[in-house]
Structure 1
């Protein structure tokens, strides 16, 4: 636990902000009121940072696999040094490992066999009382075991001989399922992997290859990672890959080997998917004052890799369905997520939290650094849009629960990687940047990272580093934003008095919740826009309600609060529709015009709104704002008047605008012109997402050729399978008999389809779970080897409302192997 405010963080009772999990609802008998469900992260046990008796120094794993049986045979050799008088028993994290024998001894003595017992709580207990151990004298453990993991390590058979893949999922609690270890984020080790594979397969892991030797039926590869890293960051991928190699030049002149391991025949995906990585490495190296620290960078694209994207030291594992082609860049360059994974090479691997309680430090920093990279490459707007996305994810999560960023309750450490750690955490880094200024902030961050490189840090270490950079205390900042929960929720309104030439602005803080301060102290800028120009006023909010009178000779066109987004808050500004339309037309920054479109959703019944939107659209130059205006126009009740405006934008040069047009047209019965627009986009648009939107629109508007277009879409490949997924999402809008629609969806749940296609079909089947064959299929999918397919089946059954589905989920709870899916049950 962090050293500040421990009593504050340990108030009794769980936070019960009414998170009702779908499966938890199904677990209630019919007719009974649901019992409020407390997420494991707030209802889990309290965890204090342990004080290990041993320092884990080196891990050596010799692995041989039997892919057909999904079994590995291994020898794990651990080098440990006692940090205090050695206990009689050593406890290692080891889940489901069948241990044959354990040998132990000092490094300068021969190892001898010692008693070992597997504990039901995923632990291996090793007796040390027969050994002559002493403080600070290293010992060696040799653990011989076999395992058939159902999580942590996965075997994925291919469609042809020799195409089986083996990979590890990573994460704080995953390593224990395929090797024994001392599981603690502050315990850095060096590691060595010795892996025997068939001749057609390649071993991908962190570090450098130091030896490869031929053995019967294959080869044995030895990889060494001799730089300190967390034990749970050991990742491994094995498969028949096509390697694409490059050499990158870093800012310090170093030449860095960069290799991508791709599915055979997918070499063309290298540049569209990973082409920005060199730029990312250069940016982070320069901005953080530390060159990329690992000996190489490797990426491997894997089949059905359910984490989606996982990072280790010098290694990225990515699901092969996320590979892109050049055409996919039309919709989205895909920089943000990849930049965050690259940023974690520093924020998460060079630097680790002292304990899981402080995971926000690295999760939030990586997300913030990704936003900073977008700022450097795409401008300030991209930075603020990334932060806005992180804020929205956090706000969505606060509807279910609040917690301080420094937190000591969970069932699994993975649960700490939530939108609080990542989203609010990124905003804390951003607010520190705003308060300190760029020079002091980046200097303080570089100093903090350099001081704790290849080591650990906690929140107090960060506070001290930033105080040194700022030259002033920051305890109140950390108490308010890190050790407390929530954010200021602001209700704001204003009135103008023409006689006194004054504007009265009233702001009330209305946030509630456990650990949430009743009053935040925040500084905001109010921008009053009039016909004469812009007036700015600095305000401090430090009480539940604040009312301030500002000089204003003219009534405002509109008012902006915190226009530069320097503070995390949930702002609800009350303005008339005319003011929001004025903001949409005249605000100089696109993000403020987008804010106006969101606010105007509450005024769709205003008969004057269409004229204001049409006028704003005619002068709008930003594609994102044009798209938002068109979505609003499409939601207006006067379809006969709005359709010509939508059709005029059907051939707009920006894909985001064409997509918005199709979404709007899809909400209404088709006219011949609307159907022609959608058909044209479905057949020939250069954007995958626009084609997908057109397929959906044709189905929902009941166009005559919707069935033919949907059938064509189901055999049309696209990045991320967006086109096939779109067709499956609207199958129930097609003019087909129900049995034919059901058969179509069930057929697309088969394993020969991409996982993204299968999950979409499974989601659509929830509406047909009253059909016995459909329900049988969904229940059978609970035992699918794919984690993502089981997750989709759980959610679909939970949404079906069927009693038999409820019973199936209850029965599955006891046999579901994956810890994260257990939370859904």
Structure 2
């Protein structure tokens, strides 16, 4: 183990559990067979858990394990109060075939352990190996895993590579993780491997590699170049990479997962030209946040928001302030689309399961980190990140640990600030209620009335003021439902704008948040209206299932007013329906193509998303792509490919100031 990695591992507490397993995976037979040992430092109150499809024989300190309790979560053996406990185990089981087709949303759900010659995926959540739990929390475990697969296959789990061997009998590799880790996955497939050794922090060597299916092997060099750049970026920003290798592994499923030491991305995903400059960096960064420091899920998963801020958003900052501002506005529009009943505090976010959870756990959390950096300054913020990494690597950590690191670096009490942003489900509802000029001799000033809901947030509100002498930016604090604030100016005020650059997490008012498709698509109350002949209505129902998070209930021709509606059908029938309902016609921006989708706000307050297509084939062609464009106000497609898309224009809150 390299010196820096060894020191980091030594600083982490010894893992409560040590695993030593030998695995044999036969993807063609869809069969896993394994044996090995588990050593539990202290087993009082602990349980051994294994998925229901596996059969296990176990010996605990010389005695056979009793029959397990079998429940929905798997097989459970209660362990006696021994310290340490040594278990010898053998287990085997049949694996599921991969689904013939799966959407990206479906891969976010609970997947079974599955195998096929084109790709085996045994996700951690399937409990494919015996693991030790205390209550509902898995105990961190170090491991040595040897895995054997048939000729032409390769297999991978988390950990440093200790040995690899390939011969006529197949491929065998041994992986070790000395520090305690969470549940891990196993992936396998007919991979062609390309690798490169690179220089890393502290004079170490890192191995980066692509494990790709043969039909995308030509993409390897570009991905290796990108990974090398990301690793250098995050080592400089946070600290040494926590491992000896990083691999990009292709999947036959449309996955997008980040595991310790590798990312598992769908073949179709890897072919997309923008992935190297967007999603790939996000998955690399997860080796620090999420797979290097483990979230305390019981108190809220902070890792997705921090990774989104330091990857997805950071790349927009690299492109310039205009791109960064556009992403902040997109996040706020997404938050405005979340129905009030679906909002929840960040302390309750665990993982992305539907549209609202991603908006809150990724986008709202990223805005919180952005606001914190504004408050602390970039230097203190980044020092706090490095302190957090040094203190918590290979440990479970929560929001309080992050706060403590920034408090130590800033020497400020951040508890009240964190409390309001983490424990409240609502967002500040700020309103610019009034603006009056003041004149005292030759001096100019502006009196501003701000309002928000009760209980009030404590906010430093960004303002832009246009004066006869030019524009200026400032912030004013509000800590009550109503505040009258004074701002001295160099010249007479002409206009005042609230948060013009969208630097504050807040509820946008109607003019700031023109409708987007997602407002309808993530609302459980949405009604589906299908229009057209029988084939078109059948295709419309299929598309509605792909678009909506809750299972849709399609009905022909009508829906209750005041509730969000998704209307899908043939173009001529949709246009006739809009006219009958006295709703605006198809906007001029949404022209051309064989399918168009757009969002609008109706007079009764309900959101409306409209999908109008030439025929059933055009609706079916949109199945794969359209669900990814919920952040848009309108999309035009031809043959399943996006031709144009965009958002209706919005404008920050502003008031003209009367003349002095």
Same fold (TM over 0.5): yes
Paired with 2:299 and 2:126, the residues of 1 have a C-alpha distance of: 20
Q: Give the 3 Å change call, closer, same or farther, for CA 320–186 of structure 1 in structure 2.
A: same
Paired with 2:501 and 2:483, the residues of 1 have a C-alpha distance of: 21
Which residue number in structure 2 is paired with residue 407 of structure 1? 348
Task: Give the C-alpha shift of residue 81 in structure 1.
Answer: 1.3
Task: Give the C-alpha shift of residue 298 in structure 1.
Answer: 0.6
Q: Write out per-residue CA displacement over residues 255-293 of structure 1, whole angstroms, 9 at most, x where no aligned residue.
A: 2111011121322323455542222211111111x1112
Which residue number in structure 1 is paired with residue 457 of structure 2? 520
Q: Give the 3 Å change call, closer, same or farther, for CA 371–318 of structure 1 in structure 2.
A: closer
CA contact (8 A) 1:229 1:313 kept: no
The range that moved more, 179-188 or 428-437, is 179-188
Which residue number in structure 2 is paired with residue 241 of structure 1? 191
Paired with 1:301 and 1:597, the residues of 2 have a C-alpha distance of: 38
Which residue number in structure 2 is paired with residue 324 of structure 1? 271
CA contact (8 A) 1:64 1:73 kept: yes
Which residue number in structure 2 is paired with residue 75 of structure 1? 35
1:190 aligned counterpart, secondary structure? strand
CA contact (8 A) 2:191 2:211 kept: yes
Paired with 2:82 and 2:129, the residues of 1 have a C-alpha distance of: 30
Which residue number in structure 1 is paired with residue 241 of structure 2? 292
The structure with the largest strand share of the pair is: 2
Task: Give the C-alpha shift of residue 80 in structure 1.
Answer: 1.1
Gaps of 5+ in 2: 1-13, 98-109, 517-585, 597-609, 629-660
Task: Give the C-alpha shift of residue 486 in structure 1.
Answer: 2.2
Paired with 1:247 and 1:404, the residues of 2 have a C-alpha distance of: 43
Q: Write out per-residue CA displacement over residues 663-717 of structure 1, whole angstroms, 9 at most, x where no aligned residue.
A: 976635xxxxxxxxxxxxxxxxxxxxxxxxxxxx24369xxxxxxxxxxxxxxxx
Paired with 1:730 and 1:539, the residues of 2 have a C-alpha distance of: 44
Q: Give the 3 Å change call, closer, same or farther, for CA 597–212 of structure 1 in structure 2.
A: closer
Task: Give the C-alpha shift of residue 228 in structure 1.
Answer: 2.1
CA contact (8 A) 1:95 1:177 kept: yes
Which residue number in structure 2 is paired with residue 164 of structure 1? 118
CA contact (8 A) 1:360 1:425 kept: no
1:226 aligns with 2:173: no
**Which residue, out of 201, 205, 210, partners 2:153?**
201
Equivalenced residues, count: 515
Which residue number in structure 2 is paired with residue 283 of structure 1? 233
Q: Give the 3 Å change call, closer, same or farther, for CA 525–210 of structure 1 in structure 2.
A: closer
CA contact (8 A) 1:80 1:138 kept: yes
Gaps of 5+ in 1: 1-53, 106-110, 158-162, 511-516, 575-594, 600-662, 669-696, 702-728, 735-740, 750-754, 761-825
Query: RMSD value over aligned CA atoms?
Result: 3.8
**Which residue, out of 346, 349, 369, partners 2:288?**
346
CA contact (8 A) 1:242 1:265 kept: no
Paired with 1:479 and 1:759, the residues of 2 have a C-alpha distance of: 34
Q: Write out per-residue CA displacement over residues 573-623 of structure 1, whole angstroms, 9 at most, x where no aligned residue.
A: 97xxxxxxxxxxxxxxxxxxxx79999xxxxxxxxxxxxxxxxxxxxxxxx
Task: Give the C-alpha shift of residue 231 in structure 1.
Answer: 3.0
Task: Give the C-alpha shift of residue 64 in structure 1.
Answer: 2.9
Q: Give the 3 Å change call, closer, same or farther, for CA 235–459 of structure 1 in structure 2.
A: same
CA contact (8 A) 1:244 1:260 kept: yes
Q: Give the 3 Å change call, closer, same or farther, for CA 188–321 of structure 1 in structure 2.
A: same
CA contact (8 A) 1:387 1:426 kept: no
Q: Write out per-residue CA displacement over residues 211-236 of structure 1, whole angstroms, 9 at most, x where no aligned residue.
A: 44568x7325132122324332x222
Task: Give the C-alpha shift of residue 79 in structure 1.
Answer: 1.9
**Which residue, out of 86, 102, 115, partners 2:66?**
115
The structure with the largest helix share of the pair is: 1
Q: Give the 3 Å change call, closer, same or farther, for CA 340–395 of structure 1 in structure 2.
A: farther
**Which residue, out of 12, 17, 20, partners 1:60?**
20
**Which residue, out of 387, 399, 421, partners 1:481?**
421
Q: Give the 3 Å change call, closer, same or farther, for CA 186–228 of structure 1 in structure 2.
A: farther
**Which residue, out of 89, 100, 103, partners 1:142?**
89
Task: Give the C-alpha shift of residue 508 in structure 1.
Answer: 1.7
Q: Write out per-residue CA displacement over residues 32-78 of structure 1, whole angstroms, 9 at most, x where no aligned residue.
A: xxxxxxxxxxxxxxxxxxxxxx9642223333344455332333532
1:313 aligns with 2:260: yes
2:51 aligned counterpart, secondary structure? coil
Paired with 1:370 and 1:758, the residues of 2 have a C-alpha distance of: 24
Q: Give the 3 Å change call, closer, same or farther, for CA 378–168 of structure 1 in structure 2.
A: farther
Which residue number in structure 2 is paired with residue 468 of structure 1? 408
Q: Write out per-residue CA displacement over residues 303-353 of structure 1, whole angstroms, 9 at most, x where no aligned residue.
A: 114xx311111111001111236xx3xxx4653322221111111122112
Which residue number in structure 2 is paired with residue 42 of structure 1? none
**Which residue, out of 141, 146, 149, partners 1:189?**
141
CA contact (8 A) 2:437 2:492 kept: no
1:569 aligned counterpart, secondary structure? coil
Paired with 2:219 and 2:166, the residues of 1 have a C-alpha distance of: 31
1:222 aligned counterpart, secondary structure? strand
Paired with 1:282 and 1:214, the residues of 2 have a C-alpha distance of: 31
Which residue number in structure 1 is paired with residue 386 of structure 2? 446
Q: Give the 3 Å change call, closer, same or farther, for CA 276–380 of structure 1 in structure 2.
A: farther
